Amino acid sequence: MARMRGILTALIGLPAVSACAPIAGPGQVAVHVIPPPGKNPILAKNEDAFCTNAANGYVRIYVICMESKGYRVELFGAGGIPMSVAQLPWPPSPPAASPLQNQQLPIRAAPPAPPSEESLKYARLLDHLVAQDSRSWAVNRYDQGSMKDATVEQSANGKPSRIKAYYTYNNGQRGWVEAEMVNGRLSCLTYWDFPNNCRKLGQGMGKQLEAAAEEAARNERLHPTPRSVPSQSQEPSWFTCHYVYGGAPLIAGMAGCPPW
């Protein structure tokens, strides 16, 4: 059983785990993933791992990611009742930082000061950079022009060393981005959902997945594996059982896999 954030818990398996609908308990959802015909098993494993990582614990993001790659995803709630992806929760928006948080505002609070010209200038710079970088994203879509509240840290030579600003994606979901600068040039970008990963421009998870898929296809060409003959049996393959035990061992018995 793979724990996913939010209200629900996902039971994730690979194709054709059972002829019957998987059963989820209260507060859980079972996810049944069916790959497109002829999908390379190595690529399928890489794509599932990528979507699981990109989902960051949220079943809805995982489903959207897998469907965008051609998989068919079936959802079942408690008692095996079919569900739709619209019933799953979105990730919450990150809280906006505010110096007035937990402080009582005066009865006649002054309106906030307009952003400085410097803040606007660097917000425009980050908007340009993130719009370009978002072409390599796998799931989310940047709301171009939404960048605001940019703050700048200066290095010893007076040039910016770190620029941080807030933006929206997927039509209003909020996030933030930091740009590390070296001698006035962009070094890498850090996003709110991967705060410990400062990466190069244009090297988002979508680009990384494409590279992994190309590597898997190249290895398959260099070291082809025997193609299994289609069988009338409903028993899952060795690869399916291996993957199910590795990712969700509690439902391996449901899939018809022999005990390890």
Give the type of residue at 36. P
Give the CA distances from residue 112 to residues 9, 67, 103, 109, 115, in Å, rounded to whole numbers and listed in that order. Answer: 42, 43, 15, 9, 9
The predicted-structure confidence for 50-66, as pLDDT tens digits, reads as follows: 988 888 888 888 899 99
Residue 239 or 157, more confident = 157
Q: How many domains does the chain have?
A: 2
Mapped onto helix, strand or coil, the DSSP state of residue 124 is helix
In a domain, 35, yes or no: yes
Same domain (yes/no): 123, 148: yes
Residue range of the domain that includes 28? 10-87+205-223+235-251
pLDDT at 187 (0 to 100): 93
Same domain (yes/no): 123, 72: no
pLDDT at 209 (0 to 100): 73
Residue 63 or 243, more confident = 63
The predicted-structure confidence for 159-188, as pLDDT tens digits, reads as follows: 889 999 999 999 999 999 999 999 888 999
Residue 83 has pLDDT above 50, yes or no: yes
In a domain, 75, yes or no: yes
pLDDT category of residue 13 using cuts at 50, 70 and 90: very low
Report the percent of the chain where pLDDT is more than 70: 70
In a domain, 97, yes or no: no
Same domain (yes/no): 70, 125: no
The predicted-structure confidence for 178-215, as pLDDT tens digits, reads as follows: 999 998 889 999 999 888 989 999 888 777 777 777 77
Residue 20 has pLDDT above 80, yes or no: no
Give the CA distances from residue 221 to residues 39, 45, 210, 224, in Å, rounded to whole numbers and listed in that order. Answer: 14, 17, 17, 6
Same domain (yes/no): 155, 210: no
In a domain, 104, yes or no: no
Same domain (yes/no): 51, 122: no
Q: Among all chains, which residue has been given the structure tokens 């807030």? A: 166
DSSP state of 203: -
Give the type of residue at 85. V
In a domain, 126, yes or no: yes
Same domain (yes/no): 30, 60: yes
Same domain (yes/no): 209, 187: no
In a domain, 2, yes or no: no
In a domain, 167, yes or no: yes
pLDDT at 134 (0 to 100): 92
Same domain (yes/no): 210, 193: no
Same domain (yes/no): 214, 174: no
Q: What is the DSSP track for 142-164?
A: B-TT--EEEEEEE-TTSSEEEEE
d(CA 169, CA 108): 34
Same domain (yes/no): 212, 149: no
Mapped onto helix, strand or coil, the DSSP state of residue 39 is coil
